[in-house]
Amino acid sequence: MPKFLSVARASDLRPGEGKLIMVRDKPMALFNVDGKFYAINYICPHMGGPLGEGKVDGFVVSCPWHGWTFDVRTGLADHPGGHSVSAYEVLVEGDEVKIGWLKEPETP
């Protein structure tokens, strides 16, 4: 099994945008932050909101349903007492965006 799977074209996602991608039937949110790509779980742990449709401000995405915020680089909650989401390795080769394994969780 390949370590990275092709999921999108870099040219299809403008800076500041997020979108839904499916990786082996798992919904993930792919974000372009100033030309660098990040991937986290698509589903917000609060009430299942679509993180890929949220507003991106710097490295923070806000869930469009209730405003919970997450760092797209790490998946860590950007709000007090919140739950985090998984973050995934991303590789860009030419115009091809590829998703890899889970990132190692960061420790405080």
* CATH number of the domain located at residue range(s) 5-102 in this protein: 2.102.10.10
Write out pLDDT tens, residues 46-78.
899 999 999 999 999 999 999 999 999 999 998
Q: Give the pLDDT band (50/70/90) at residue 81.
A: confident
Both tokens of 54, joined, read 């949220």
User: Where do the domains of the chain lie?
Assistant: 5-102
Q: What percent of the chain has pLDDT over 90?
A: 81
Paired residues of 96 in beta bridges = 9, 93
Biggest CA-to-CA distance, the chain: 39
pTM above 0.85, yes or no: yes
* Of residues 36, 42, 40, the one with CA closest to residue 13: 36
